Amino acid sequence: MSDEIGCRDFAELAPELALGTTTGEERALSVEHLAGCARCRQLLDELSGLADDLLLLVPPHEPPIGFETRVLERIHESRQSPSRRHTLRRVAALMAAALLLVVATAGVVLRATSADRDLGSSYRRTLAVANGGYFAAKPLYGRAGKGGGHIFGYQGSPSWIFVVVSEPALSGRFKVHLEMNVGPRVVLGTMLIEHGQGSWGSVVPVDLHDIEEITLSRPGTPEVLEAHL
């Protein structure tokens, strides 16, 4: 494909672009063309609206009893932990920024849902670069249930985890264990936490799906931090 595309080439790409399933290269070329072509922007706008409207065709299905209460409780919990909310939003913003680098020129947002769709599309393309299945981020919890950092996990070739600890009460060397759904516990390595701060990463020899829990502990003592991936 040449560096520039015309209206005919764009029309071929537009449906997949609207559905958020194009490759990074296709998207970059499309955005470049869109910048100078109002007619193609109109076409993409219409097709994006169509893609959004398809979601309205799904038959409604009432959730289990108590769903509303459980949702509101979750929102209440999040409201009561503003620092956690802000931390997660910062992490999400960083992740989004990193993912969006893949499509550096993707700056045209034609509809409200297209931003969300673009991020999902970028995410999938980023995963495809290293044969990835998914990327996840989960909080680390201490024994008292308080947050103590985050664990990031990547399922791919290879799979890996990255641990970020922020827990003022901790200091020293901690073993990182994988508790498996089936099979013995795996000791992955040793992580150094200094003055409550530490970060550590490692390739993992198993699929992330098979990990029940990741724990940090000192030899001879109970787990001090844990996360469910």
Partner 1 sequence: MWSVSDEALLAGLASGDDEAAAALVRRFQGRIYGLALMIVGDERTAEDVAQETFVKAWQHADAYDPRRGRVPTWLLAIARNVAIDAVRMRRSEPIDPQAILALGMASKDPGPEEQGSAAPDAARLRAALARLPNEQQRALVMAAFLGRTAREISELENVPLGTIKTRIRTAMLKLRVMLEVYHER
Distant-in-sequence, close-in-space partners of 20: CB < 8 Å, separation ≥ 6? 51, 114, 117, 118, 120, 121
Output the smallest distance, CB 197 to partner 1, in A: 26
Q: Give the long-range contacts of residues 125-131, CB within 8 A, separation 24 or more.
A: 125/23, 125/24, 126/99, 126/102, 127/156, 129/102, 130/154, 130/156, 130/157, 131/156, 131/157
Q: Please, which residue, 135 or 141, has the CB nearer to partner 1?
A: 135
| From 1, 8, 38, 58, residue interacting with partner 1 (rule: CB under 8 A) | 58
Site string for partner 1, 80-119 (x = CB under 8 A): -----x---x-------------------xxxxx--xx-x
Residue 53 binds partner 1 (CB under 8 A): yes
Q: Does 72 bind partner 1 (CB under 8 A)?
A: yes
Per DSSP, the chain holds a count of helices (H) and strands (E) of 6, 8
- In terms of CB distance, is 63 or 205 closer to partner 1? 63
For 53, the enclosing helix (H) or strand (E) is: helix 38-54
What's the closest the beta carbon of residue 129 comes to partner 1, in angstroms? Answer: 13
DSSP state of 168: T
Distance from the Cα of residue 181 to its chain's centroid: 23
Interaction site with partner 1 (CB under 8 A): 12, 14-16, 18-23, 46-47, 50-64, 67-68, 70-72, 74-75, 78-79, 85, 89, 109-113, 116-117, 119-120, 124, 133-134, 136, 155, 207, 209
